[in-house]
Amino acid sequence: MNNENFCPDCGVKPGEFHAIGCDIERCPACGGQALSCACSNEKRNEYPWLPWTGEWSGVSECREFGWYAKLVEGQGWVTCDKNDEGASEDLNRIYADAVWGAKRGRFVIKKK
């Protein structure tokens, strides 16, 4: 059985909701790790819970925004083009240049 798109913690398939206590599940209110964020249950329940999509939170937004990085020896992670060898979605940039849009259930670019 191919399980490459199953949640790496609780094992659900894309489109299914995470198991209770899953480390990967995102809080629908703040976008943080649901298991450890400070949001109250009342705040969390203002927004729909998010099913597992088959990839880490923020990956699709990085592709949409064109945010990629690669690991360069002696420099760490550096911004690059998506076609560069070793390029991957720049999840670090999500937390620097985007914010969680609870109404949309995804990251959005910060307004300047």
Q: What is the pLDDT of residues 32-43, one digit of tens each?
A: 999 999 999 999
Residue 112 pLDDT > 90, yes or no? no
DSSP designation for 98: E
Report the mean per-residue pLDDT for the chain: 95
Q: What is the pLDDT of residues 7-22, one digit of tens each?
A: 999 999 999 999 999 9
- CB distance 10 to 3 below 8 Å: no
Question: Does pTM surpass 0.85?
Answer: yes
What are the start-end ranges of the E strands in the chain?
Answer: 68-72, 76-80, 88-89, 98-101, 106-109
Q: What is the pLDDT of residues 76-99, one digit of tens each?
A: 999 999 999 999 999 999 999 999
In terms of residues, how long is the chain?
112
The span from the CA of 107 to the CA of 92, in Å, is 12
The pLDDT assigned to 92 comes to: 95
Which has the closest alpha carbon to 68: 85, 43, 50?
A: 85
- Range 38-77 burial, b when 16+ CB lie within 10 A, else e: ebeeeebeebeebbbeeeebbbebbeebebbbbeeeeeee
